[in-house]
Amino acid sequence: MYKRTVLTIAFAASSLLASGLATEAKKAGLEPIPTDKKELMKLIDNPKNPITDEKVELGKKLYFDPRLSKSGFISCNSCHNLSEGGDDGIPAAIGHKWTANPHHLNSPTVYNSVFFNSQFWDGRDPHLEAQAQGPIQAAPEMSATPEHVVATVTSMPEYVEEFKKAYGKDTKITFEKVADTIATFERTLVTPSAFDDYLNGNEKAMTKAQKDGLKTFMDKGCATCHTGIALGGAMNVFNITGTYKFQDVGDFKGDKNGMVKVPTLRNITQTAPYFHNGQIWELKDAIKEMGRIQLGADINDAEAASIEEFLKALDGRKADVVLPQLPASTSKTPKPDIN
């Protein structure tokens, strides 16, 4: 009887400790992806352009269609590969004519980007709809004009019919409408993880090592910037307590106030290399460097390993994305231009 009572008390204390950690995490500003579909839709939907199955399916086709680019070779998925971390896995994005990003900027993940307060490394656009227009037109990326995009889409009767089904028979296909539709698909790319399960009440969702890592993560001050549902996605000053050791790779210095978008930590184990210019390949090294330049903290090997264990709990469950079958080109479809 005594032994059973002791075990019961010990279990209760352990559960209380775990619950206390989850509460502490929420107080630190960390938020879970909601399990309730209605609550999630409140966060990801755009009231000006509500999510529908028709828009999502059409947006997925456009996301994977390389014919939107000038060369007919590069799609959104080229730099934001949904079969892995939602990025391209190389230091600097490669675009039209095999051009590396002129500022040596790394492609951010598209997964969970709906939760970001700012899009692009300099945060110049707040919404996915505006962001989707940028890479299509950027010379070192897809290098297309709005006219090319509209001509491409309207040249294929199947696309024209799908736009009518998605937006109404009288809809006019514009460049902005194409970008909005791609963004609608991107809004659904949400990856709940063991961390979300834990904050949502499942005490066993995270391992002890991951819980210890969460505590280390908060104690070191990482949650100061990596906060909210995305554990990032807002703007913050870079090089606060030190200078990033690869600062001179590329000419990016942030926005006019020296602010840089804080990368999301969701699926971070799958999105190497790290930092805006993709110069650090090992996650433990990125953790130590962030501690040095942002927190003024000397994070040792054991602490870095602990934080890394927590970050593994942010590996999300990705929905199966079936590769879409795209409409056939017609005689009116613009020809690829590699110049």
Does 103 appear as a known binding residue? no
Does 41 appear as a known binding residue? no
Spatial distance between the Cα atoms of 199 and 228, rounded to a whole number of angstroms: 12
Does 76 appear as a known binding residue? yes
Does 222 appear as a known binding residue? yes
Spatial distance between the Cα atoms of 256 and 28, rounded to a whole number of angstroms: 29
| Among 31, 39, 141, 161, the one annotated catalytic | 141
Instruction: Please list the residues that pair with 100 across neighbouring strands.
Output: 94
Give the ranges where 127-230 is alpha helix by DSSP (H): 128-137, 146-154, 157-167, 175-187, 194-199, 208-219
Does 80 appear as a known binding residue? yes
Is 147 part of the annotated catalytic residue set? no
| Interior angle at CA 289, CA 268 and CA 100, nearest 5 | 65
Which H or E element spans position 10?
helix 2-27
Does 276 appear as a known binding residue? no
Residue 28 tokens read as 């630190």
69 Cβ contact list (under 8 Å, min separation 6): 75, 96, 136, 142, 143, 144
Does 148 appear as a known binding residue? no
Whether cis (ω within 30° of 0) applies to the bond prior to 273 is yes
Does 127 appear as a known binding residue? no
Q: Which residues are catalytic?
A: 141
Q: Which residues are annotated as a binding site for heme c?
A: 76, 79-80, 96, 222, 225-226, 290
